[in-house]
């Protein structure tokens, strides 16, 4: 598995397996087990996904050594602020049934992110978390929070795909050697993305699927994609992207289809309250 070096000297697999919206009724455990069987070694979950326990069960039953699997989870808004975040970290560790988490993120950029980040920094010093990062933080949120950090984030996980390439954000992140991770790397099945003629022509050229071309584009750009699926066929398909490379001309063509528009705008501050009401993970 190809790995990428992060700004704290640790390494992360170049592709992850996401479990957003996969229910914790055995479905998540099976999907993660299938992904590990295929060869994935990076699993991405979150407290708000309500399936950390399923991820933990799959890891425990995998037969793999703990240091072979890279686990990411995320602190939810309900647990922001210093004291609440410390409890949230402990809850994630308990749910995952792990002694440490490889990477822990602030899931959203709203409310007391500074207090929550301080708790994450302390968890790194205590050995409970190996690396810390952010999710859904645009340049404005980053620029404000980064001034209060003692430990820099290693990643920022954002919506990113060939139609929304996050070019300005990537320039900002490069100043700090913060890697971009991509949620919705396949556009959540976006018809506009999968029927794009540029991507379809390139897929035909390499005898690959459009999904594989999209994910390979992320790899070539140094972006870490986190595709999700519960279908074994698609799990295998999404992982089978390391036996080819896109040439410079094809990379240029894909860069040209960027619309600069995503599915939502994190800079809308009212979105924080909306999310807090939509995802209540505990009383």
- Model confidence at 199, pLDDT cuts 50, 70, 90, reads very high
* Tokens linked to 38: 């295929």
Can you give the residue ranges of every domain in the chain? 3-276
Say how far apart CA 39 and CA 60 lie, in whole Å: 16
Give the three-class secondary structure for 127: coil
pLDDT of residue 188: 87
pLDDT at 66 over 90: yes
pLDDT of residue 263: 93
Give the dihedral sign, CA 114/118/124/129. negative
| Residue 35: HSE in the Cβ half-sphere, 13 Å Cα cutoff | 28
Give the sheet arrangement for strand 155-159, strand by strand. 17-18, 42-44, 70-75, 101-106, 129-135, 155-159, 179-183, 224-225
pLDDT at 116 over 90: yes
- The 10s digit of each residue's pLDDT in 40-57 is 999 999 999 999 999 999
Look at the block and give the residue holding tokens 């050995």. 127
C-alpha pair distances (Å), 282 with each of 10, 43, 210, 261, 276: 32, 23, 39, 33, 11
* Tokens linked to 88: 């949230």
pLDDT of residue 132: 99
* Tokens linked to 267: 């800079």
Please state which CATH class domain 3-276 belongs to. alpha beta
- Model confidence at 145, pLDDT cuts 50, 70, 90, reads very high
Give the three-class secondary structure for 47: helix
pLDDT of residue 104: 99
* Residue 201 near residue 207 (C-beta atoms within 8 A): no
Give the residue from 6, 137, 2, 17 showing the smallest Cα distance to 71.
17
pLDDT at 189 over 90: no
Say how far apart CA 233 and CA 92 lie, in whole Å: 30
pLDDT at 1 over 90: no
Buried b (16+ CB within 10 A) or exposed e, 71-84: bbbbbbbbbbbeeb
Per annotation, catalytic residue among 49, 80, 104, 184: 49
To the query of whether residue 279 is one of the catalytic residues in this protein, the response is no
pLDDT of residue 12: 98
Say how far apart CA 19 and CA 182 lie, in whole Å: 13
pLDDT at 119 over 90: yes
- The 10s digit of each residue's pLDDT in 211-249 is 999 999 999 999 999 999 999 999 999 999 999 999 999
Mean pLDDT for the stretch of residues 255-279? 95
Give the three-class secondary structure for 249: helix
Mean pLDDT for the stretch of residues 175-194? 96
- The 10s digit of each residue's pLDDT in 240-251 is 999 999 999 999
* Tokens linked to 277: 């009401």
Q: What is the mean pLDDT of the chain?
A: 97
């Amino acid at each position: 598995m190809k790995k990428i070096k992060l700004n704290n000297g640790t390494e992360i697999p170049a592709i992850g397996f996401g479990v957003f919206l996969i229910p914790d009724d055995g479905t998540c455990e099976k999907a993660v087990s299938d992904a590990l069987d295929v060869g994935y070694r990076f699993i991405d979950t979150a407290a708000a996904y309500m399936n950390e326990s399923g991820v933990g069960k799959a890891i425990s039953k995998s037969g793999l050594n703990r240091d072979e699997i890279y686990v990411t989870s995320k602190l939810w808004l309900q647990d922001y602020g210093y004291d609440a975040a410390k409890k949230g970290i402990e809850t994630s560790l308990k749910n995952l049934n792990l002694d440490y988490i490889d990477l822990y993120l602030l899931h959203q950029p709203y409310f007391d992110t500074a207090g929550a980040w301080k708790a994450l920094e302390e968890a790194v010093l205590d050995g409970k978390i190996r690396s810390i990062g952010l999710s859904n933080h645009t340049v404005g949120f980053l620029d404000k929070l980064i001034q209060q950090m003692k430990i820099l984030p290693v990643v920022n996980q954002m919506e990113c795909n060939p139609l929304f390439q996050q070019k300005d954000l990537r320039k900002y992140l490069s100043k700090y050697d913060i890697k971009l991770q991509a949620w919705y790397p396949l556009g959540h099945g976006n018809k506009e993305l999968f029927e794009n003629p540029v991507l379809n022509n390139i897929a035909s050229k390499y005898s690959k699927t459009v999904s594989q071309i999209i994910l390979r584009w992320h790899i070539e750009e140094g972006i870490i994609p986190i595709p999700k699926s519960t279908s074994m066929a698609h799990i295998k398909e999404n992982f089978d992207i390391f036996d080819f490379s896109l040439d410079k001309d094809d990379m240029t063509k894909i860069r040209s289809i960027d619309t600069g528009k995503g599915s939502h705008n994190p800079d809308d501050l009212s979105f924080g309250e909306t999310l807090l009401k939509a995802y209540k993970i505990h009383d």
